[in-house]
Structure formats: structure tokens, C-alpha cells
Amino acid sequence: MIPYGKHNVTWGDALRVLWQIRFRSLTQGAQIEKFEQEVAKAVGAKYAVAVSSATAGLHLAALVLKLPQGSKVITSPISFVASSNSLLYAGYKPEFLDIDPDTLNVDLELIKTRVELDNEIKAVLPVHFAGLPCDMESIKEIALKHDLRIIEDAAHALGAEYSNGTKVGSCTYSDMTVLSFHPVKTITTGEGGMVTTNDFELYKNLLRLRSHGINKLDDDFQDLILSKTANETNPWYYEMIELGFNYRMTEIQAVLGINQLKRLDKFMKKRLSRVKKYSKLLNDVIGINLAQNFDFKTSANHILPVRIDFSNLKISRATLMSSLRSNGVGSQVHYIPIPLHPYYKSLGYNIVNLPHAVAYYQECLSLPLFPDLSNSEQKKVVREISRLLRN
């Protein structure tokens, strides 16, 4: 079976993890801080906070903005539910705008129009779909004009670059950026994520909320009696000063991430090579097109979505996927538009104003894409799809 995505974990990774498990700490040790520093350096941000998942990172990022309860936040309907769920966790209201049919990212012109008409919108959470960065420079201009905050959902986009050459994660155009280290992402820690920022206050708040809301930072303790003995700070003392969470990453995950990060450039080159190969192979297949029109070099190329006009074919997507699987080829759909999920319907959301998102969903399919995908496997994928579409 050729899966749609697959991690690359070497014996070197495994031995490093084994060494950590056998001889070093398992949690709350030096490797987490080292991993944070390495990621911050790799993307060009001042600070990075490791968390248990990108979902946890999105939740914390939304919370530390401290927007008024009920604030509206613009985001994309074509994403995993974690993007908008994080806003609900924080007490905000997701506002889904339609996507640009060429990039599959949230439509910039719709953002401009919407913020002009609704002063309850307080932030934007753009999603870099499939690893392709949104036009963050333009989004930042809109945000500055309307006093909006920005959190980038870059779960797909570690290694990607903006048009000016800076890295996604540098927070050049945002308050915070959230990265994912899920097994099918650019690098993996099993589960795990990272929030990057250039704002020291946001950084401190993220650290505190990550660990139960406990203050172990350089802030002054609030209880001057309990915190000291004979005017010296008690070495065991800590204070919970707000309601936080246990969103910590383990040392085991961190050492795996450190080793994986060393191969980030290698992974990016391999992904780019595979996408270019697909572009050539699919060029001769009637009825299938790459779903995004862009310069592959700027994208992290996390997944490869294609569009197939099933309405004009005698095969459904369900049948196509089942037939591919029977012949050893995995595929996936990224994603069901978030407003279509029963929970979001119960909140009153619908797809009336999302025609491009709906059209994309009806036609999309993600083909296998990962660094170790071989030329022969790519040829098999395209051969099987071509055969099924012809028949």
C-alpha cells in the first residue's frame, strides 16, 4: 500500500530517542528548550513554544490575544476543524470566508470587504493550505488598517517561504504562527506543535498557559509572604496565577524533533521533486488537474490536492478511492468544508456564501506525497488513476 502521507524516521532518530529514554529525562528537561531554539532559528523568529499538538498551539495562541468574548475571527472553511475549533475554545466566533479557487487559501478580496462592513471582527486566522503561504503581506496591510490581530495556521507549512524569501514561522506578518509535527507533516515528533512569535509578552503568556497557568518565569510572585523565607525566595515555590492547561511536549518528542529538523532542507527538496514529477505525469491524464496554481518552490508541498470533475464521469469519488486502495494506492480528501460538519450546522453555520469551497470539495482528492515516495510508486499512482478514469 502506498499511503497518502508517511513519516521518515531513521535508525539515527530511533537511537537518539532510545538514548533519551534510557539515560535522560522524559519530560520538562533541556531538550524541549533546545528544540524551541532550533525551530525559532530555522524560521527566523525570536521565540518558540513547544506544545503537545498544533491544536493546543492554536488554542493557546487564540487565548493569549485576549480578545473580547464573542469576537469574530476570519478563517478558512477548507481546513481541518482544529483551526476554527481553537477559536471556539477561546470564546470567539469563527467567520468563514470563501477560498480563492487558484490558491485554495482564504480569498483576500473577501477579507477586505468583510472587515469594512463588520467592526466586530478582531482577528484573522489564515490557513496556509497544503503548505502554500497566503498573501500575508496584504493581510498584514488590512490588519494594520483595521487594528486586527493575526495568527497563522501553518500546520502544513513548515519550510515554506513568503514571496520576499522569509520563512513561514518568522511572524514577519503576524502576531503568532502555529506549526505542526504530526507524522505526515514536514518533520515529525509523533504528535506535537510549536507556536512562534516575536512578542515577548505573548511568549511569556504562552509558556504560562502551556503549563497549568503556573508562574515560574521572571515575573514577581504575587504572594510576598508565602514566596519568601527571611527575604529569600523559597526554592520550591511557584504560583498558579491563571487557569492554564497541560499542553507540554515531552523530552522524547523534542529529541526526535531536533534530529528531524536537521533534515528539513532535504525533506523540502524531496517533496518539491515529487510534486514536479507529478505535474509532468498528470499532464497527459484527461480529467484531472492540480488543484493549486502556484510556484511550487514557495510551498512546503505538504499534500498534493488534485481536482477531478466527477459530475462528468461514470465513477464516483468513493468508488475511485476504493478502487485505488484495492490496487495498493492510498488517497484522502482534504477537507470537508468545516461548516458542513453537524456540530457547526448546530451553531447556525452554512455554505451559502462559500461556492468555491463547495466546488473544490466536490472535486478534490489528495494523492500520495512524502519524501520517500519513489519514481516507480508515483508512476503507479498516476497509472492506476488514469486507468480508472478511462474506464
Residue-wise pLDDT tens digits, 147-165: 999 999 999 999 999 989 9
Q: What is the CATH number of the domain that holds 191?
A: 3.40.640.10
pLDDT tens-digit series, residues 41-89: 999 999 999 999 999 999 999 999 999 999 999 999 999 999 999 999 9
The torsion angle over the Cα atoms of residues 341, 344, 346 and 348, rounded to 10 degrees, is: -130
**Quick check: is 293 in a domain?**
yes
- Predicted local confidence at residue 293, as pLDDT: 81
Q: Are residues 174 and 194 in the same domain?
A: yes
Which ranges constitute the DSSP H helices of the chain? 11-23, 30-43, 54-65, 82-89, 108-117, 136-146, 200-210, 251-261, 264-282, 317-326, 342-346, 355-363, 375-390
pLDDT mean across residues, the chain: 96
State how far the Cα of 186 lies from the Cα of 6, in Å rounded to an integer.
10
Of 244, 261, 278, the position where a domain reaches its end is 261
pLDDT of residue 218: 66
Range of the domain at 225: 11-261
**DSSP summary character for residue 232:** E
Per-residue DSSP letter, 100: P
Our count of domains for the chain comes to 2
Rounded to the nearest angstrom, the gap between the alpha carbon of residue 258 and the centroid of all alpha carbons in its chain is: 19
Q: Are residues 288 and 144 in the same domain?
A: no
Which of 206, 239, 261 is where one domain is finished?
261
Q: Is the peptide bond before 335 cis (omega within 30 degrees of 0)?
A: yes
Residue 5 lies in a domain: no
DSSP-assigned letter for residue 161: B
Please list the residues that pair with 47 across neighbouring strands: 197
287 located within any domain? yes
Lay out the sheet containing 304-308: strands in order across. 288-290, 304-308, 364-367
CA-nearest of 213, 178, 223, 218 to 200 is 218
Over residues 128-146, mean pLDDT: 97
Are residues 232 and 381 located together in one domain of the fold?
Answer: no
Examine residue 289 and state whether it is found in any structural domain, yes or no.
yes
Residue 28 has pLDDT above 90, yes or no: no
Give the separation between CA 4 and CA 282, rounded to whole angstroms.
17
Q: Give which of 356, 203, 332, 263 is closest to 16, Cα–Cα.
A: 263
| 3-class DSSP state of 123 | strand
For the record, the C-alpha cell of 54 comes out as 498544533
- State mean pLDDT over 225-241: 91
- Of the three residues 236, 261, 286, the one that is the final residue of a domain is 261
The whole-number average pLDDT for the span 364-384 is 98
In a domain, 56, yes or no: yes
The answer to the question of residue 368 being in a domain is: yes
Classify residue 292: in a domain, yes or no. Answer: yes
Q: Give residue 140's pLDDT band: very low, low, confident or very high (50, 70, 90).
A: very high
Average pLDDT over residues 101-123: 97
Full DSSP string of 277-303: HHHHHHTT-TTEEES--S-GGGS----
Domain contains 6: no
C-alpha cell at 25: 529525562
pLDDT at residue 217, as a whole number: 61
pTM of the model: 0.96
